[in-house]
Amino acid sequence: MGIIPVKDGLDKYTVQYTLTSISPKEDLNILGNDNITITGTNFPTQLKGNTFDIEFSDATKTKCVA
């Protein structure tokens, strides 16, 4: 009937991403609202349900939400 059962208690796993470029790298607004383009490999095809933690070297524990 087209219904596929889902296993209860699936384990989470981590995928190693490879970043090849980030732009822009300078002159970001401290209040936010900047668009940052990140390119690389092994990114998920959908952002919903996935998170990225990005830390900038010139800031203290800045967390970006994707």
Rg of the chain in Å (alpha carbons):
17
Transcribe 1-66 into DSSP letters: -------TTPPP-----EEEEEE--SS--TT-----EEEEES--S--TT-------TTSSS-----
User: Can you tell me the distance from the alpha carbon of 1 to that of 6, in angstroms, rounded to the nearest whole number?
Assistant: 15
**Spacing of C-alpha 53 from chain mean position:** 6
Q: What is the pLDDT of residues 4-63, one digit of tens each?
A: 777 777 777 777 888 898 888 888 887 878 888 889 998 888 778 777 777 666 655 555
Predicted TM-score (pTM) of the model is 0.51
